[in-house]
């Protein structure tokens, strides 16, 4: 059986939003599945020993670029959600809690949360922000409070972030395909071509 495509991501990344809505089609084309592993991007960045200040000119370009990229992918996009970045701790915990119960519902939840934050500009940090999202995924609202106290989900975030750091990931989305790393939603086409060449 072919290896899964490992997908490291965070809700605060607009490029992860694009990747979340495009990677599965490529995976299906090559008879692969996707292992969704949200990470804490803040902790990932802190682990980079030689990181440099982020220049404003690059940020200005990226805001333009991620808006254009989402539109080209046919996705709704709010250039800068409020707040940006948000504290995505609770939705990450909820994802891992749901993944343990039902991976398909977890992915449905993740896509709905991405859409609420990046597609509609509505925050996802607090329990009240997630109520509409869990309804889309067919998840009881009670799971939100349970996720906040879920030690296994918290450990899953820690473990996945550590794994991403070990893989030398420096941002999201990062994809690991048969031990090959691809960074960015714009590299999903490269994943497609790379897998085609391996056949």
Residue tagged active-site, from 13, 40, 69, 185: 13
Which residues, at least 6 apart from 46, have a Cβ–Cβ distance to it below 8 Å? none
Cβ atoms of 77 and 118 closer than 8 Å: yes
Distance CA 189, CA 172 (A): 16
Phi, psi of 88 (to 5 degrees): -95, 20
CA 109 to chain centre: 11
CA 140 to chain centre: 22
DSSP secondary structure, 123-149, as one string: --SSHHHHHHHHHHTT--THHHHHHHT
Q: Is 40 a catalytic residue?
A: no
Angle of helix 127-136 versus helix 89-101 axis, rounded to 10: 30
Q: Which residues are catalytic?
A: 13
């Amino acid at each position: 059986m072919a290896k899964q495509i490992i997908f490291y991501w965070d809700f605060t990344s607009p490029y992860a939003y694009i990747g979340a809505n495009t990677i599965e089609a490529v995976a299906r084309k090559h008879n692969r599945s996707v292992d969704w592993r949200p990470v804490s991007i803040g902790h990932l960045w802190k682990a980079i020993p030689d990181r440099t200040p982020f220049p404003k000119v690059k940020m200005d370009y990226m805001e333009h670029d991620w808006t254009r990229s989402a539109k080209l992918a046919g996705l709704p996009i709010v250039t800068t959600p409020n707040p940006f970045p948000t504290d995505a701790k609770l939705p990450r915990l909820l994802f891992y809690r749901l993944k343990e119960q039902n991976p398909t519902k977890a992915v449905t939840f993740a896509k709905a949360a991405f859409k609420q934050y990046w597609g509609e500009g509505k925050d996802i940090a607090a329990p009240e922000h997630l109520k509409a999202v869990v309804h889309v995924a067919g998840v009881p609202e009670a799971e939100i409070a349970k996720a906040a106290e879920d030690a296994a989900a918290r450990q899953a975030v820690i473990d996945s972030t550590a794994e991403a750091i070990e893989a030398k990931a420096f941002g999201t989305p990062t994809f690991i395909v048969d031990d090959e790393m691809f960074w960015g939603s714009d590299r999903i086409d490269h994943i497609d071509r790379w897998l085609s060449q391996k056949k």
